Amino acid sequence: MNDIMSSFRWANDGISPISVTQEYILPPEKRPNLTTVTSSQSISIPIIDMNNENEMTLVHEIAKACEEFGFFVLINHGISQELCYNVLDVITKFFNLPHEEKSQLLSNRVMDDGKIYRHHLIDPLTKKEVGMWSETLFHTWHPVEVGFIQKLPQNPSHFREVIASYAKEIGPLMDQLLSLISQGFGLSKDYLQTRLEENPQYTAQANYSPPSPNPELTLGLQPHSDKKVLSIILQDQGITGLHVLKDQQWIAIDPIPASLFVNVADQLQVLSNDKYTSVYHRVVNNNVKERASYATFCGLNKDGLVSPIQELIDLQHPPLHPKYYYGDFLKFHRQKQNTITQKLFSGQTTTFSLSVTKFTHPPIFRHPKLNFLIPKKSKLLIPSYHAPTLSFPLSPVF
Ligand SMILES: O=C(O)CCC(=O)C(=O)O
Ligand SMILES: [Fe+2]
**Rounded to an integer, what distance in angstroms lies between the CA atom of residue 53 and that of residue 27?**
49
Residue 376 has what pLDDT? 37
Confidence of residue 321 (pLDDT cuts 50, 70, 90): confident
pLDDT in tens, 46-74: 999 999 889 999 999 999 999 999 999 99
Atom of ligand 1 nearest to the CA of 205: 9
For the segment 361-385, what is each residue's pLDDT rounded down to a tens digit? 444 432 222 333 333 332 322 222 2
What single letter denotes the amino acid at residue 34?
Answer: L
pTM: 0.84
The pLDDT tens digits of the residues spanning 238-275 come to: 899 999 999 889 999 999 999 999 999 989 998 998 89
Break the chain into its structural domains and give their ranges: 2-311, 324-385
Decide which of 219 and 22 is more confident: 219
**Which residues are found with C-beta within 5 Å of the ion, ligand 2?**
226
Residues 6+ positions from 170 with CB-CB distance below 8 Å: 79, 141, 232, 296
Superfamily of domain 2-311: B-lactam Antibiotic, Isopenicillin N Synthase; Chain (2.60.120.330)
User: Separation of 281 CA from ligand 2 center, angstroms?
Assistant: 6
Substitution candidate for ligand 1 out of 132, 203, 293 with most atoms within 8 A of CB: 293
Ligand 1 binding pocket (C-beta < 6 A) is 205, 207, 221, 226, 233, 235, 241-242, 281, 283, 293, 295
Can you tell me the mean pLDDT for 107-134? Answer: 89
CA angle 355-356-358, nearest 5°? 80
- Confirm if 186 and 311 have CB atoms less than 8 A apart: yes
Confidence band of 389 (pLDDT split at 50, 70, 90): very low
Mean pLDDT, rounded, for 194-205: 95
User: Lowest-confidence range among 40-44, 46-50, 155-159?
Assistant: 40-44
Ligand number nearest to the C-alpha of 283: 1
Answer yes or no: are the C-beta atoms of 235 and 22 closer than 8 Å: no
Q: Which residues pair with 373 in a beta bridge?
A: 365
Query: What residues does 263 pair with on adjacent strands?
Result: 71, 231
Across the strands, what pairs with 298? 202, 230
Atom of ligand 1 nearest to the CA of 263: 7
